[in-house]
Amino acid sequence: MLVLGIETSCDETGVALYDSEKGLLADALYSQIDMHNEYGGVVPELASRDHVKKLLPLIQATLDQAEVTSEQVDAIAFTKGPGLVGALMVGTMTARAIAFAWGIPALGVHHMEGHLLAPMLEDTPPTFPFVALLVSGGHTQLVQVEGIGQYQLLGESLDDAAGEAFDKAAKMMNLPYPGGPHIAKLASQGTPGRFTFPRPMVDRPGLDFSFSGLKTYTLNTVQALEKEQGELSDQDKADIAHAFQEAVVETLAIKCRRALEQTGMKQLVMAGGVSANIRLREKLEQALAKVGGQVFYARPQFCTDNGAMIAFAGLQRLQAGQQDDLAVKPVARWPLTELPAI
Q: Is 135 annotated as a binding residue?
A: yes
Nearest Cα neighbor of 92 from 136, 48, 138 is 48
Q: Is 87 left (phi over 0), alpha (psi -120 to 50) or beta?
A: alpha
Annotated ligand binding at 5? The verdict is: no
Question: Treating both helix axes as pointing N-terminal to C-terminal, what angle do 234-263 and 162-172 enclose, rounded to 10 degrees?
Answer: 170
DSSP string, 157-179: BSSS-HHHHHHHHHHHTTPPSSH
Q: Looking at residue 58, what DSSP letter applies? A: H
Query: 3-state DSSP call for residue 279?
Result: helix
Q: Is 115 annotated as a binding residue?
A: yes
Q: Is 136 annotated as a binding-site member? A: yes
242 is in an annotated binding site: no
Cβ contacts of 297 within 8 Å, gap of 6 or more? 119, 269, 270, 271, 275, 281, 303
Q: Is 180 annotated as a binding residue?
A: yes
**Is 314 annotated to bind ligand?**
no
**What is the C-alpha to C-alpha distance for residues 198 and 218, in angstroms, rounded to an integer?**
10
Q: Are 183 and 245 in contact, with CB atoms under 8 Å apart?
A: yes
Evaluate whether 217 touches 165 at the Cβ level (below 8 Å): no
The total of other beta-carbon atoms located within 10 Å of residue 282's CB is: 13
Helices (H), the chain: 33-37, 44-66, 85-102, 111-117, 162-172, 179-187, 212-229, 234-263, 278-289, 307-319
Sign of CA dihedral 306, 312, 316, 318: positive
Sequence ranges of the binding site for Fe cation: 111, 115, 305
Q: Which residues are annotated as a binding site?
A: 111, 115, 134-138, 167, 180, 277, 305
Binding residues for substrate: 134-138, 167, 180, 277
